[in-house]
Structure 1
């Protein structure tokens, strides 16, 4: 019976793979027909471009925090930069990431609806590798007027890209790809830094919280939950980590994204979920003595603030190709990066529900050594 179920699952995965491949081929062929009369501009004239659209559908919050470093550098070099995003991330551009504008390109929009927006940018940059959603991004590029389309590793659709850079990015960080794009525009980025904007109102709110709620005590932020269960700690490990932190430090412990009522009731001294706003949660990181997180959103925010951090990764492969530990790693010296032990090296990665608290304890010992060195 088990073998039969396994066989059926294998067949279903194969069916999905073939269906996605056929879907990509069909739509890309269709868009090739639509764009066959597109004017080709000399590559030498790319220096005359002033407006850039970065294609970012289906991206996560951490992805955009990293991309903020590129946006900042382009704007400093007198480019107007626009981000093409899904609606659920629009709030990030009200506060946190500064651009010259955004456009919402959700899946619900048809090709004709995007064409009717009559958008134009000198350059459209697609930072993603070919994947199951390539046809959708090619559709956006076809529907939006532009002079140059720039992509990476897009062999299957090279006719859509005026510049198509092939990169070997095993064991590199995602920011290296963004630096490479800037280089195409003759912009050299020697020190890639994320660039987040926190409003004065938010800063005042955070300082008031630290003063009134925490009595100006030092504190640790613990975020054990990510958007995927495979990258989230089990309730058992969360409980054991909280007990350990209480034993090891007199700092206030603030825990994000833990909703379990029993756990919350068992730790009355710990502050759970102090803010409903993600922006507030990110802003608080600036003042933390230590951040412990499984979610790369907070990892990249901690990078921006250069906060001391322990971050937990599960060896997953981004796009079933790039090692996430490196590709979306913390990428700065104040971070202690720890890993799960299974080393499955799959697209979903190891299951952090199985992670032992001992791994976190060992990393905390490293943190204490770093803290003592800075006293």
Structure 2
């Protein structure tokens, strides 16, 4: 009961804070008239700042298609990206990104960041948030870009250009394609890019040097929500299904906080299952790039596998809610060597999270 009351109170206060924040920051000095036609050319856009301060790794992977397609058409445009420490790893080697700014939640550091960005005088700022928090409103306001572009921002003074979701069901790349079309870039290639430097490869290459004749499987049982994590029983079922064929080895990946949990499983399958102690997501991405097959319920790993068109088994939830039924298409792998397996939790109560573990192992076995 106390938790429920606290949740209601927090939701009420959040709404109040957002209204006050909008009142404070939803304003823009020196608004320019937008010239019709090809937006980038006709409005002399020489620099673009992308805001990816949500920290989402999968979204950053998808965003790489925009960096490449803009640079392909306009190689002299400067591209900056605001990112968290974690998802900045995805683009640290990307030749289409000229500058990365690290976003931290601390208000003082956001103010310092906005000063640094304002000095750069970006022509266009593109934000991808569905809901803007107060600190994000402040950052956009103080970055002082000539034009601000955002999702569903028709009634905002702070934004000059608003874009909307495509009509009907769609894959997330179609939203990014729509933004590119708004900028005047048509017929975009919607594939993703990931790049590695020599240091990113060292640890994985060492792990794989004695496994040249093995089929490499990457199993990621974990996700951002515990309701999307594969339980121990199903992890074992997947491992045993993979190992029904000889000459296969499995790397179970997960954050270091999951290490002990993984090692408990690893010791059940000596020399067949490993836990690679990787330092960051880009090392993990390199391991995925060298693998033969990936199995995961987590869409960030799905999108990394998609960047390399790896054979993939992606596990998604299906229930009676609109959200999960939309997600299976919106965040789908979207290429032919990927298979979606669905966990059907049709009896879940309204307001509760469906369980990822209600999938049929026989469906995974068929793919394997």
Distance in structure 2 (CA, Å) of the matches to 1:63 and 1:347: 26
Which residue among 323, 337, 351 is the counterpart of 2:355?
351
Distance in structure 2 (CA, Å) of the matches to 1:318 and 1:85: 31
Matched, 1:50 2:46: yes
**Matching residue of 1:122:** 123
**Matching residue of 1:113:** 112
Structure 1 unmatched ranges of 5 or more: 369-375
Q: Number of aligned pairs?
A: 352
Distance in structure 2 (CA, Å) of the matches to 1:274 and 1:253: 10
Secondary structure at the counterpart of residue 323 of structure 1: helix
CA shift, 1:182, in A, is: 0.8
User: What pairs with 1:104-253 in structure 2 (closer than 5 Å)?
Assistant: 104-110=102-108, 112-117=111-116, 118-119=118-119, 120-129=121-130, 131=131, 133-155=132-154, 157-168=155-166, 170-200=168-198, 202-203=200-201, 206-212=204-210, 214-253=211-250
**Matching residue of 2:11:** 17
CA shift, 1:270, in A, is: 2.5
In structure 2, relative to structure 1, the CA distance for the partners of 1:231 and 1:321 (3 Å cut) is closer
Distance in structure 1 (CA, Å) of the matches to 2:16 and 2:90: 35
Distance in structure 2 (CA, Å) of the matches to 1:24 and 1:97: 37
**Matching residue of 2:85:** 87
**Matching residue of 2:345:** 342
Distance in structure 2 (CA, Å) of the matches to 1:200 and 1:348: 45
- Say if 1:315 and 1:349, in contact at 8 Å, map to a contact too: no
CA shift, 1:14, in A, is: 2.8
User: What pairs with 1:292-311 in structure 2 (closer than 5 Å)?
Assistant: 292-311=295-314
RMSD, aligned α-carbons? 2.9
In structure 2, relative to structure 1, the CA distance for the partners of 1:287 and 1:280 (3 Å cut) is same
Distance in structure 2 (CA, Å) of the matches to 1:114 and 1:315: 41
- Say if 1:169 and 1:322, in contact at 8 Å, map to a contact too: no
Distance in structure 2 (CA, Å) of the matches to 1:313 and 1:203: 30
CA shift, 1:27, in A, is: 0.7
Q: What TM-score comes out, normalization by structure 2 length? A: 0.85
- Say if 1:114 and 1:143, in contact at 8 Å, map to a contact too: no
- Say if 2:289 and 2:305, in contact at 8 Å, map to a contact too: yes
Q: What are the superposed Cα offsets for residues 43-94 of structure 1, whole Å, 9 maximum, x if unpaired?
A: 3364210210011112311111111111111122222211111234333333
Distance in structure 1 (CA, Å) of the matches to 2:78 and 2:320: 33
CA shift, 1:262, in A, is: 2.8
In structure 2, relative to structure 1, the CA distance for the partners of 1:355 and 1:306 (3 Å cut) is same
- Say if 1:317 and 1:348, in contact at 8 Å, map to a contact too: no
Distance in structure 2 (CA, Å) of the matches to 1:99 and 1:66: 14
- Say if 1:82 and 1:101, in contact at 8 Å, map to a contact too: yes
Q: What TM-score comes out, normalization by structure 1 length? A: 0.84
Structure 1 outlier segments of 4+, above 6 Å: 316-319, 345-348
Q: What are the superposed Cα offsets for residues 266-304 of structure 1, whole Å, 9 maximum, x if unpaired?
A: 111323222413322211222322111122222111111
Structure 2 unmatched ranges of 5 or more: none
Secondary structure at the counterpart of residue 128 of structure 1: coil
Secondary structure at the counterpart of residue 226 of structure 1: coil
CA shift, 1:196, in A, is: 1.0
Matched, 1:363 2:357: no
Distance in structure 1 (CA, Å) of the matches to 2:320 and 2:81: 26
